[in-house]
Amino acid sequence: MKRAILLAAAVWAGACDYTVPLEEAPAREIDRRVIGRWERTRESGEVDRLLVLPMGPREYLVMYVFPSGMPDALFGRAWPIERDDEPGWVQLHWFGAGRGQVPDADAPIYQVAWYRYEDEELAIRLLNPEVVSPEATTAGELAQAIEENRDHADLFREEAVLTRVEADRPQGD
């Protein structure tokens, strides 16, 4: 039991950055092109896996399996967010892990990402908490911190490029 608690704490500490969302609720339509299974192989040979499913017209269900020695996936919701008519911004809300772990009430459970879809590749960049401080206590403070750092070269972390798992291309899109 103690190991499960430590495992859950490591998941939340390593995966989430903010205790408040940039946007509280979905307001834009999802991009159906990103629905499906995605993978990338790191230089070490370890494989990251991402599953994106629709949860309605404005929200995704996301499952992320990463190679950090964790046997479990992270589960979350994601939705497109408004940022000066600039497409590709997404709010992530991580709510659980594969063995039933859920975050503590005061744990950081949100991330903000930007993505680009092109030629069956999905490039994702997460907002960098070293540039946009995770100390924001409201969505307004987080938005202001992003705006203040908008031109910072390291606003986002390094880009992760994932390739669609060919057999899982959505039908009819």
- For residue 11, which amino acid is it? V
pLDDT at 66 over 80: no
pLDDT in tens, 90-124: 999 998 887 777 787 778 899 999 999 998 899 99
pLDDT given for residue 126 in this prediction: 94
pLDDT in tens, 42-53: 888 888 889 999
- Higher-scoring residue by pLDDT: 173, 72: 72
The pTM (predicted TM-score) of the whole model is: 0.81
Q: 13 vs 66, 73, 88, CA distance in Å?
A: 14, 14, 25
DSSP symbols for 19-60: SS-SSSS--S---GGG-EEEEEE-TTS-EEEEEEEESSTT-E
Beta bridge partners of 138: none
Closest-CA residue to 153 (of 134, 128, 133, 136) = 128
pLDDT category of residue 167 using cuts at 50, 70 and 90: low
Cα gap 77→68, rounded to integer Å: 21
Q: Are 95 and 75 in contact (CB under 8 A)?
A: yes
pLDDT category of residue 15 using cuts at 50, 70 and 90: low
- For residue 53, which amino acid is it? L
